[in-house]
């Protein structure tokens, strides 16, 4: 079984014209990151429709995709994406689960209402969160309140994490790794998933990593060599790692586009870099256990 725990999807209006969608909603950060074209002329990511995503999943034999929200600058854009994801999951509960977008700049009561609403719609968590990208301190009271409610309601959280030791890309925001340790320690009952291998958070004090911290592999081929798999297995263990791609981000910009099977290359590469005894955990069992999807 293969669960991709980190997939993004957008409504038709965004797919049709990402730049116009961003401008109309005053979302310049998303525009920078998602609508960018590389120096070689390739778009950094595709914009598949819901049906296009399902076809890509079929081709790559992905049984279930967990849709991750974006860290929008406006609470209204978060709500719009959450309604869209709720409809996607309602139409395809056998193939899709969702995490909700969140911006805690909205009044506290509305944030709590939104979190309860997505829980009632069957969402598995909140994410991909990036308070740092939204200009919100990780210690902000409203933000901490939202995390406490997520923990109370059994919602996991997925955080966008960057690695300051890697070359920067346009729009990258620094995410101090100590902030995630502090959050995990403040909410020991909260399932915390750090995207993009958690920026190799294990490097500082690996034996003191809070037990509720988990990592996903999103965008790995863009960020790290394949040695990251054995390093992470050694330092955090296979039960802490969830396979995630970051689809529809183009993970292999220097290789010819994978026509017809855009999701297939990374799972195959991950399989080759995981020992047989770790594969079931990383590809599905950890997600099933932690997220009850």
Site residues (CB under 5 A) for Zn ion?
A: 160, 195
Report the alpha-carbon distance of residue 172 to residue 163 in Å, rounded. Answer: 10
Least distance (Å) from Zn ion to the CB of residue 120?
A: 26
Q: What would the two tokens of residue 72 be? A: 């929008």
Q: What would the two tokens of residue 93 be? A: 């509960």
Closest to Zn ion by CB, 138 vs 205, is 138
Least distance (Å) from Zn ion to the CB of residue 27?
A: 15
State which residue has the least CB distance to Zn ion.
160
Report the alpha-carbon distance of residue 68 to residue 3 in Å, rounded. Answer: 13
Yes or no: say if 281 and 232 are a contact pair by the CB < 8 Å rule.
no
Question: Of the candidates 84, 89, 88, 120, which has an alpha carbon nearest to the alpha carbon of residue 101?
Answer: 84
Phi, psi of 120 (to 5 degrees): -65, -25
Closest to Zn ion by CB, 195 vs 251, is 195
Closest to Zn ion by CB, 136 vs 280, is 136
Least distance (Å) from Zn ion to the CB of residue 128?
A: 5
Closest to Zn ion by CB, 154 vs 171, is 171
Q: Give 83's contacts (C-beta < 8 A, 6+ positions apart).
A: none
Least distance (Å) from Zn ion to the CB of residue 89?
A: 21
Closest to Zn ion by CB, 59 vs 125, is 125
Least distance (Å) from Zn ion to the CB of residue 33?
A: 9
Question: Of the candidates 138, 103, 120, which has an alpha carbon nearest to the alpha carbon of residue 30?
Answer: 103
Report the alpha-carbon distance of residue 152 to residue 26 in Å, rounded. Answer: 32
């Amino acid at each position: 079984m293969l669960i991709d725990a980190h997939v993004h999807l957008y409504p038709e209006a965004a797919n049709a014209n990402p730049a116009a969608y961003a401008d109309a909603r005053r979302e310049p950060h998303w525009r920078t990151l998602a609508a960018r074209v590389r120096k070689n002329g390739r778009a950094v990511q595709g914009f598949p429709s819901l049906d296009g995503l399902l076809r890509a999943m079929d081709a790559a034999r992905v049984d279930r995709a967990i849709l991750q929200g974006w860290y929008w600058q406006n609470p209204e854009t978060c709500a719009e994406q959450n309604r869209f994801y709720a409809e996607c999951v309602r139409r395809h509960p056998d193939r899709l689960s969702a995490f909700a977008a969140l911006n805690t700049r909205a009044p506290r009561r509305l944030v709590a209402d939104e979190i309860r609403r997505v829980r009632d719609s069957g969402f598995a968590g909140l994410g991909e969160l990036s308070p740092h990208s939204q200009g919100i301190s990780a210690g902000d009271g409203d933000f901490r309140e939202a995390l406490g409610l997520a923990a109370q309601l059994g919602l996991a959280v997925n955080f966008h994490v960057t690695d300051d030791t890697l070359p920067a890309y346009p729009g990258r925001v620094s995410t101090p790794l100590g902030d995630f340790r502090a959050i995990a320690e403040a909410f020991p009952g909260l399932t915390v998933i750090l995207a993009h291998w958690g920026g190799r958070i294990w490097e500082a004090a690996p034996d003191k990593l809070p037990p509720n911290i988990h990592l996903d592999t999103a965008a790995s081929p863009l960020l790290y060599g394949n040695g990251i798999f054995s390093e992470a297995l050694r330092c955090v263990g296979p039960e802490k790692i969830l396979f995630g791609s970051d689809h529809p981000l183009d993970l292999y910009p220097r290789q010819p586009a994978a026509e017809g099977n855009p999701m297939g290359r990374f799972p195959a590469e991950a399989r080759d870099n995981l020992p047989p005894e770790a594969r079931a955990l990383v590809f599905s069992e950890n997600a099933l256990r932690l997220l009850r999807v």
